[in-house]
């Protein structure tokens, strides 16, 4: 069974989508539709901009979404997924490619998401860090102890992305993440600060969640052509109401990617096809399922 998986923010690169635009009229139409919706030629920034251009949240998230959905579009009738899933932002790409919402509606939600997250980041300085070589339970224990150090939110830190065994991303206030990193190093872990503007998938994203929830509730959703495995619970669903409820919770809930891939495999997935820029998810799948057919 084929599982199509879609990457999130951080997968972008200069030149992304240029080949799709030049070789496929259907993809070209998709890019031009996106330019009209966004109000500036994001395709020019994707094809010929700079790395700094693509790091802007208002550009990054729509760019990755457009590239991913265009790749699915380029497959035409060959795109026949038995299941789909996406990492963080990639969940919107997966749902759109599977027909749960139109490209225009999906892009508008991604734009709303990016803008809401940017405002949240500017209001509350925060950050993230990758933690390697430790069990999930150890990371969770340290985050809980740090968060309990003070009564206010100064030391907030949580496990935000369960990417693969031995790789968890933590998210929270600058102070909370710094203290957690120090403790995790002392427990034998390796920590890598991430160049992000905020504490994604943490309680600090609550203002963005509230803002985005209104946009999600106002967007029409359809039954997708196959089950979609969502970040919040790592479980499959094709129910539009459940999809919307899970999307509303996504910004303040962890990305359960390890469990998602494991559940896909348990449900019969024997081929994982990444659609979008980069190769990050292929690597994670192979760490979760050694020997997996991921490409």
Sheet containing strand 126-132, edge to edge, reads: 157-164, 167-173, 126-132, 190-193
Distance CA 206, CA 126 (A): 13
Q: Both tokens of residue 108?
A: 């508008």
Phi-psi region of 33 (alpha: psi -120 to 50; beta: other; left: phi over 0): alpha
- 284: which residues sit within 8 A by CB, 6+ positions away? 163, 164, 167, 257, 261
63-72 CB burial, b ≥16 within 10 A, e <16: bbbbbbbbbb
Q: How many CB atoms lie within 10 A of CB 44?
A: 12
Active centre residues (catalytic): 88, 201
Question: Which token pair is 102?
Answer: 């139109």
Contact 134, 166 (CB under 8 A): yes
Structure tokens at 196: 């992000």
Say what angle helices 174-186 and 136-147 make with each other, to 10 degrees. Answer: 130
CA angle 164, 239, 246 (to 5 degrees): 45
């Amino acid at each position: 069974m084929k599982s199509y998986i879609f990457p999130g923010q951080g997968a972008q690169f200069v030149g992304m989508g240029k080949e799709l635009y030049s070789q496929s009229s259907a993809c070209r139409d998709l890019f031009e539709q996106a330019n009209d919706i966004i109000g500036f030629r994001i395709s020019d920034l994707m094809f010929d901009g700079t790395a700094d251009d693509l790091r802007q949240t208002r550009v990054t998230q729509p760019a990755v979404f457009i590239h991913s959905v265009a790749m699915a579009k380029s497959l035409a009738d060959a795109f026949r997924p038995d299941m789909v899933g996406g990492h963080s932002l990639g969940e919107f790409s997966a749902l759109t490619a599977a027909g749960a919402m139109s490209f225009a509606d999906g892009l508008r939600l991604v734009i709303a998401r990016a803008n809401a997250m940017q405002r949240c980041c500017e209001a509350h300085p925060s950050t993230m860090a990758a933690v390697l070589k430790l069990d999930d339970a150890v990371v969770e224990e340290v985050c809980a102890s740090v968060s309990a150090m003070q009564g206010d939110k100064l030391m907030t830190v949580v496990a935000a992305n369960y990417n693969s065994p031995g790789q968890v991303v933590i998210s929270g206030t600058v102070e909370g993440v710094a203290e957690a990193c120090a403790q995790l190093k002392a427990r034998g872990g390796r920590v890598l600060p991430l160049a992000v503007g905020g504490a994604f998938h943490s309680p600090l994203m609550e203002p963005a969640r509230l803002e985005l929830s209104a946009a999600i509730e106002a967007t029409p959703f359809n039954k997708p052509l196959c089950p979609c495995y969502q970040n919040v619970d790592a479980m499959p669903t094709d129910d539009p109401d459940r999809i919307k409820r899970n999307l509303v919770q996504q910004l303040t809930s962890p990305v359960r990617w390890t469990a998602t891939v494991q559940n896909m495999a348990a449900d019969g997935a024997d081929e994982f096809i990444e659609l979008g820029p980069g190769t990050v998810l292929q690597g994670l799948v192979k760490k979760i399922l050694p020997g997996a057919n991921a490409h």
